Amino acid sequence: MNKIGFDSEQYLSMQSARIEERLGEFGGKLYLEFGGKLFDDFHAARVLPGFAPDNKIKMLEKLKDRAEIVIVISSQDIAMNKVRADLGITYDADVLRLIDIFRSYGLYVGSIVLTKFAEDNEAAKIFQRRLEKLGFRVYRHYPIKGYPSNVPYIVSDEGFGKNEYIETERNLVVVTAPGPGSGKMATCLSQLYHEFRRGQKAGYAKYETFPIWNLPLMHPVNVAYEAATADLNDRNMIDPWHLAAYGESTVNYNRDVEIFPVLNTIFEKLMGSSPYKSPTDMGVNMAGYCISDDDVCCEASRQEILRRYYKALVGEIKHHRDSTESDKIALLMQSLHIDVDDRAVAVAARARAAECNCPAAAIELPDGQIVTGRTTDLFGCSASMILNALKTLAGIEDDVKLIDRSCIVPVQELKTRYLGGKNPRLHVDEMLVALCSSAAANPVAQLAMEQLPKLAGCEVHTTVILSHIDEKMFRQLGVRLTSEPVYRDKTLYHE
């Protein structure tokens, strides 16, 4: 059984109350910068078992009568067609996806801000026109020379003053974005500048789930966050400003610590005095108070670090990068005494591959049982493993054939003879379609199909890098996949 280490109900209650409290401290409008993913925070769900991926948006749902959402997107990211790696869609497409999600929760999206806007950016202009035709208010914010260091220039008519003022209707303004580097903080600070010029009370706070400020620096949950951001070269550290002000050790990350003196100066110039003594002061995150079983979260975080390590190794092979990212994660593993053999499915998959001398895969089922699969003449190792897992979950004997060979061979012929494919074996999606077809006349196959939802959250490891088709299917099934950093064959081109 999957163990729970985080109390989501307590979190929803405490987090919404903390935001209400911060709102009251300023007595006017609060610009709340949301770091990380607002809707689908799967990292948090993995390292804090019991945390639902949509917890943050459910928390906002409690404040929906007082809140409006401003979505920020970098114009440069629009021009570059920047893609969210986890979803495979561009940032501008993700803005539309986020709007749909927010609306489905009854949340009000007030406007969209195009940051780092340049007049020669035609892609950003096209996107703006598209949004405006859909009825949204769109604002332009511009690059500021010397940002964030040249405070006198930033806090002037030529700096923040050049940005268009975002008209907002409610006193809690949630500023979010499709991904990092979009300009959320600069958008909040720009609004403070305009609000104070208009004589309006306003404040700023930051809601960042990780690192969790009131957990130790080397707590596995915080180390897992550092592993997750190894490609950004982020690092966790003790907040020196908080330690100096209060004599209390708290955790933050390097970028917030490094930018704080500049932010403090901006606050002083805007407000006359800064409301904060440290980066930790700016935050409102209550997740650390809602951990119900620390051991469960520690083990989940160790597994996440291992997943990040394998992901980095595979990424370096796929994209011909150096080993900087995996080397950094390896050091984090060493600091927590984590070894690759601590991933049980990886050990099982490698053992199966050595036994059959072919690619293999392993999955850990909800009860802890590990099931393997290998490449055959009909199926790839992933498809074989899924079939075996479904049989095990349904209590079906291993020698029972769920899909008749006569249903598989024509599909193989279609792939190789008519569609130009070189690999006749069925991928996971093709195997599931064949299983579904068999289920129409075979109640045993139907029983196997009904087990599919039980695969969500299971750990999987394969001894070869998978095709993008199988990777996508595993994402859709909700399994947590890692792979050895080797290809199945020595061809130079891989889909």
Measured CA to CA, the distance from residue 87 to residue 51 in angstroms comes to 20
CB 292 within 8 A of CB 7: yes
**β-sheet with 202-207: strand ranges across:** 137-140, 108-115, 67-74, 172-176, 29-34, 202-207
Structure confidence at residue 417 (pLDDT) = 81
CB 458 within 8 A of CB 365: yes
**Nearby residues of 421 by Cβ (< 8 Å), 6 or more positions away:** 415
Question: Could you give the 3-state DSSP secondary structure of residue 484?
Answer: coil
Sorted by where each starts, the structural domains of the chain and their CATH numbers stand as: 8-290 (3.10.630.10), 350-483 (3.40.140.40)
* Chain centroid offset of residue 130 CA: 27
Beta strand ranges found along 358-416 (DSSP E): 360-364, 370-374
Cβ neighbours around 300 below 10 Å, total: 24
Q: Which residues pair with 109 in a beta bridge?
A: 69
Which pTM value belongs to this model?
0.90
**Residue-by-residue pLDDT tens, the chain, 495 positions:** 578 999 999 999 999 999 999 999 988 899 999 987 777 788 999 999 999 988 988 999 989 999 999 999 999 999 999 988 777 789 999 999 999 999 999 999 999 999 999 999 999 999 999 999 999 999 999 999 888 888 899 999 999 999 999 999 999 999 999 988 899 999 999 999 999 999 998 999 999 999 999 999 999 999 999 999 998 888 999 999 999 999 999 999 898 898 898 888 888 988 888 999 999 999 999 999 999 999 999 999 999 999 999 999 999 999 889 999 999 999 999 999 999 999 999 999 999 999 999 999 999 999 999 999 999 988 999 999 999 999 999 999 998 989 888 888 888 888 888 787 778 888 899 999 999 888 888 999 999 999 999 999 999 999 999 988 899 899 999 999 999 999 987 665 556
* Chain centroid offset of residue 195 CA: 32
Measured CA to CA, the distance from residue 190 to residue 483 in angstroms comes to 44
Would you call the peptide bond into 279 cis, given omega within 30 degrees of 0 as the criterion?
no
CB 284 within 8 A of CB 456: no
Which alpha helices (H) appear in 27-136, and where do they start and end? 42-47, 55-61, 75-79, 91-104, 122-133
Tokens representing 292 are 């119900």
Exposure of 262 in the CB half-sphere (CA atoms within 13 A): 18
Tokens representing 267 are 């606050």
- CA-to-CA dists, residue 307 to 227, 295, 300, 311, angstroms: 9, 19, 11, 6
Structure confidence at residue 325 (pLDDT) = 95
What is the Cα gyration radius of the chain?
Answer: 25
On the 0-12 / 13-18 / 19+ scale of CB atoms within 10 A, 203 is buried
Question: Could you give the 3-state DSSP secondary structure of residue 68?
Answer: strand
Beta strand ranges found along 254-392 (DSSP E): 360-364, 370-374
Tokens representing 407 are 């249903």
**β-sheet with 360-364: strand ranges across:** 370-374, 360-364, 459-462, 480-483
DSSP 3-state percent helix, strand, coil across the chain (nearest 5) = 50, 15, 35
Which H or E element spans position 111?
strand 108-115
CB 424 within 8 A of CB 379: no
Which H or E element spans position 29?
strand 29-34
